[in-house]
Amino acid sequence: MLPKLGRIRIAGSRKRIESLMVRWDTRIGTVTISRDQIGRYFVSLQIASEYPFIEQYAHAGTAVGIDLNIENFLWDSGNNRVENPQFRRNLQSELAKAQKKVSRRAQRARKEKRPLLSAKNYQKARKQVSQIHARIAA
C-alpha cells in the first residue's frame, strides 16, 4: 500500500515478498518506481529490520567444474551460464542498423521542421533501439 498510489500489484516471487513482510519487525523505508525507455515499470523497495534477512553460511572451499561448449560458451557446476559471444556480435550489428534508422528518421523529421516528440516513426525506431539495448544488457 503506497500513500499516493494506493494498492499496487507486484509481479515476482510472491513467497519471497510475503516472507519479508510477514515478520513483525520489517518496515518499508523508501519505495522508488522507475520506468525504462521501453515502457516497463520497476519497483525498488528499501526494507529494514533489526535482524538479518539471510543467514550467513560459512565459506566452504569447494571445487567448481567448468564445461566449455559451442552453444553456451561456459557452464559451471553452480549452474552459472556465460553466453556465446557470437550472439552478442549479432545483436551489435542489429543495434547498429537500428541506430542508423533512428538517425535517418530524426533527420527527416528535422528537415520537415517537426518536433521529434510528434514524429511517430522516429519514436517507434527509438523504442526498437531501447529494446535491443535491453536484450544486450540481459
For 60-89, the pLDDT digits (tens) are 777 778 887 766 778 788 788 877 777 777
Contact 32, 44 (CB under 8 A): yes
For the chain, how big is the Rg over CA atoms in Å? 23
Cell 513467497 belongs to which residue? 15
For 22-58, the pLDDT digits (tens) are 767 778 788 888 888 888 888 888 888 887 777 777 7
User: Can you give the pLDDT at residue 118?
Assistant: 93
Q: Using N-to-C axis directions, what is the helix angle for 85-111 and 120-137, rounded to 10°?
A: 160
- In sequence order, the β-bridge partners of residue 31 are 45
